[in-house]
């Protein structure tokens, strides 16, 4: 799906330019933000279980470090590519600035379909990738975390490989680790939880009672699955969900725990889910279904100029990174559909990653209540800042979020003596 010419990096630059102009910045003041500070492409040879050798391509892109060490996830996906990782790295810089945590932005990826690899092959791939990016990462330098098709287990392998090279355990080199080896309680659910916090606040602002709305979620992975589960637990009506294979719908509300239990068997997909009263829909139908709140939680470029006019939701909360193409943004704005942008809506993950890193540095372990309360506080403060900026500049929430981010990053750059960080 999506337009043929979509390029996430060009999309990011176009949005950045619009926001910087709206802020009244001169091109020189934000030019640096169009480019990553550092890009690394690596080859990753892996001995497969059948004895053959395969070489995979991997990336780590460091976008900006004006506000602190680089921070951002690692994605394993067959379509991962340099421009995608460049865009994702820039979005991390903007996201960390929007929620005002002391990080810059980075992202990594490997062009691989992980479902085609055995667990042992994945371990070898991850360990070799870690050694390839080792000169760039470190707890004060660049701190990876999970993203699409990576999880706590993969972070554990990265931490172990890095620690082997250092000769001692370095938990702070990655976040999103299993709790037993220094991960933060609440990190695995944090992105989805943050999405629900922001959705609720936005609905309240619009005068829509959150409990009375219907919700549709695209993607039932870490982020979409958790958001759907929390909404269900809060008694809200999730009427449609999907994964790569397609979606399911029930207007009275889906049984989300039953769906998640079904999907916990990794060999199962939603196209095979059968339950009385539940109908099958395509991903396209999910995006354009009649609902109040649409939560895209899969990949980029799902809401495009081709389907934006058909979207029936009143509010879109972007749980995925980059789900909306810039052309669609204009159509949605004209149609008065409120879009809560990714760099605000899905920032809960990196916020709790920050808490995890702080716990690692202090050798502390916080309680779940403490983590969730702090998460809520940071998310609501960010929402408030973005909302105020968009009101002040009569703009969309996306423009508001970008303006908050650009302001904070360029200010940090100036305070360090350059237009932007000269690190
Ligand atoms: N993990 C995190 O903490 C954070 C993630 N994000 C962003 O959230 C999004 C989802 O990430 P995450 O949940 O971690 O990833 P996961 O790998 O856990 O889940 C991805 C989900 O998206 C589904 N999916 C993939 N392609 C499509 C498609 N074309 N149509 C519908 N569904 C699809 C997958 O289906 P299937 O299982 O069938 O492949 C899966 O359910 C990404 O954009 C990511 O960058 C943002 C902030 C933090
Ligand atoms: O937790 C993190 O450090 C980053 C998560 C991530 O990759 C993202 O927010 O897109």
Alpha carbon distance 404, 390 (integer Å) = 9
Q: Which two tokens stand for residue 313?
A: 């939701």
User: Is there a shared CATH topology between the 8-169 domain and the 189-345 domain?
Assistant: yes
pLDDT band at 5 (very low <50, low <70, confident <90, very high): confident
What are residue 266's phi and psi, to 5 degrees?
-60, -15
Question: Which tens digits make up the pLDDT trace of 361-395?
Answer: 999 999 999 999 999 999 999 999 999 999 999 99
Which ligand is the nearest neighbour of the Cα of 246?
Answer: 1
Q: Is 199 exposed, middle or buried (0-12, 13-18, 19+ CB in 10 A)?
A: buried
SS3 per-residue string spanning the chain: CCCCCCCHHHHHHHHHHHHHHHHCCCHHHHHHHHCCCEEEEEEEEEECCCCCEEEEEEEEEEEECCCCCEEEEEEEECCCCHHHHHHHHHHHHHHHHHCCCCCCEEEEEEECCHHHCCHHHHHHHHHHHHHHHCCCCECCCEEEEECCCCCHHHHHHHHHHHHHHHCCCCHHHCCCCCHHHCCCCCHHHHHHHHHHHHHHHHHHHCCCCHHHCEEEEECCCHHHHHHHHHHHHCCCEEEEEEECCEEEECCCCCCHHHHHHHHCCCCCCHHHCCCCCCEEECHHHHHCCCCCEEEECCCCCCECCCCHHHCCCCEEECCCCCCECHHHHHHHHHCCCEEECHHHHCCHHHHHHHHHHHHHHHCCCCCHHHHHHHHHHHHHHHHHHHHHHHHHCCCCHHHHHHHHHHHHHHHHHHHCCCCCCCC
d(CA 91, CA 134): 23
Residue 71 assigned ligand-binding role = yes
Q: Does ligand 2 lie within 6 Å of residue 106's CB atom?
A: no
Phi-psi region of 149 (alpha: psi -120 to 50; beta: other; left: phi over 0): left
Ligand at shortest distance from the CA of 285: 1
Calculate how far, in angstroms, residue 291's C-alpha sits from the geometric centre of ligand 1: 21
Ligand 1 midpoint to CA 223 (Å): 7
Ligand 1: nearest atom to the Cα of 150: 17
Dihedral angle computed from the Cα positions of residues 97, 196, 183 and 156, in that order, rounded to the nearest 10 degrees:
-90
Q: How confident is the model at residue 266 (pLDDT cuts 50, 70, 90)?
A: confident
pLDDT reading at 290 higher than 80: yes
pLDDT in tens, 88-132: 999 999 999 999 999 999 999 999 999 999 999 999 999 999 999
Report d(CA 420, CA 423) in Å as an integer.
9
Mean pLDDT of all residues in the chain? 96
**Least confident range of 76-80, 199-203, 265-269, 366-370:** 265-269
Work out the average pLDDT over 394-414. 97
pLDDT of residue 422: 45
Average pLDDT over residues 174-181: 98
Share of the chain above pLDDT 70, in %: 98
Q: Evaluate: CB of 321 within 6 angstroms of ligand 2.
A: yes
pTM score, two decimals?
A: 0.97
Asked if 331 contacts 254 with a C-beta cutoff of 8 angstroms, the reply is no
pLDDT above 90 coverage of the chain, percent: 96
Residue 2 has pLDDT above 70, yes or no: no
**CATH code, 8-169:** 3.40.50.10860
Domain 189-345 has CATH 3.40.50.720: yes
- With a 6 Å cutoff on the Cβ, whether 320 touches ligand 1 is yes
Residue ranges covered by each domain of the chain: 8-169, 189-345
Q: Residues of 397-415 as b/e, b for ≥16 C-beta within 10 angstroms?
A: bbbbbbbbbbbbbbebbee
Catalytic residues, by residue number, are 107
Q: Lay out the sheet containing 293-296: strands in order across.
A: 279-281, 246-249, 237-243, 214-218, 293-296, 315-317, 338-340
- Residue to substitute in 72, 89, 175, 222 for testing ligand 2 pocket (most ligand atoms within 8 angstroms of CB): 72
The minimum-distance atom of ligand 2 relative to the CA of 103 is 3
Q: Residue 239 — φ and ψ, nearest 5°?
A: -95, -20
Question: What is residue 419's predicted lDDT score, i.e. its pLDDT?
Answer: 57
For residue 423, is pLDDT > 60?
no
Residue 3 has pLDDT above 60, yes or no: no
Model pLDDT, residue 418 = 76
């Amino acid at each position: 799906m999506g337009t043929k010419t979509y390029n996430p990096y060009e999309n990011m630059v176009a949005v950045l330019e619009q926001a910087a102009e709206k802020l009244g910045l001169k091109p020189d003041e934000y030019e640096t933000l169009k480019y990553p500070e550092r890009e690394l492409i690596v080859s990753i040879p892996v001995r497969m279980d059948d004895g053959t050798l395969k070489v995979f391509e991997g990336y780590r892109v460091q976008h900006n470090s004006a506000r602190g060490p680089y921070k951002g996830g690692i994605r394993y996906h067959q379509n991962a590519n340099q421009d995608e990782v460049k865009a994702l790295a820039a979005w991390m810089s903007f996201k960390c600035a929007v929620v005002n945590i002391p990080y810059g932005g980075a992202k990594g990826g490997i062009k691989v379909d992980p479902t085609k690899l055995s667990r042992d092959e994945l371990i070898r791939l991850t360990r070799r990738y870690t050694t390839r990016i080792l000169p760039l990462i470190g707890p004060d330098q660049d701190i990876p975390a999970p993203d699409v098709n990576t999880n706590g287990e993969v972070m554990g392998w990265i931490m172990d490989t890095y620690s082997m090279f250092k000769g001692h355990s370095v938990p702070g080199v990655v976040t999103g680790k299993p709790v037993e080896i220094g991960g933060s309680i609440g990190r695995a659910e944090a992105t989805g939880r943050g999405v629900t916090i922001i959705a609720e606040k936005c609905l309240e602002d619009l005068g829509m009672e959150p409990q009375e709305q219907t919700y549709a979620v695209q993607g039932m992975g870490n982020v979409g699955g958790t958001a759907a589960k929390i909404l269900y637990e809060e008694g809200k009506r999730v009427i449609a969900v999907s994964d790569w294979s397609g979606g399911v719908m029930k207007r009275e509300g889906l049984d989300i725990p039953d769906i998640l239990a079904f999907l916990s068997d990794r060999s199962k997909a939603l196209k095979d889910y059968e339950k009385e009263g539940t109908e099958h829909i395509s991903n396209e139908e999910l995006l354009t279904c009649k609902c109040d709140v649409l939560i895209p939680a899969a990949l980029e470029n799902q809401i495009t100029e081709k389907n934006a006019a058909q979207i029936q939701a009143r509010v879109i909360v972007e749980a995925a990174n980059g789900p909306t193409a810039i052309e669609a943004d204009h159509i949605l704005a004209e149609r008065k559909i409120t879009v809560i942008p990714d760099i605000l809506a899905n920032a809960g993950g990196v916020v709790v990653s920050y808490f995890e890193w702080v716990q690692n540095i202090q050798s502390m372990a916080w309680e779940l209540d403490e983590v969730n309360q702090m998460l809520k506080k940071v998310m609501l403060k960010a929402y408030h800042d973005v909302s105020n900026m968009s009101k002040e500049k009569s703009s969309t929430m996306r423009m508001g979020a970008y303006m908050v981010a650009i302001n904070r990053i360029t200010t940090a750059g100036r305070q360090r003596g350059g237009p932007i960080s000269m690190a």
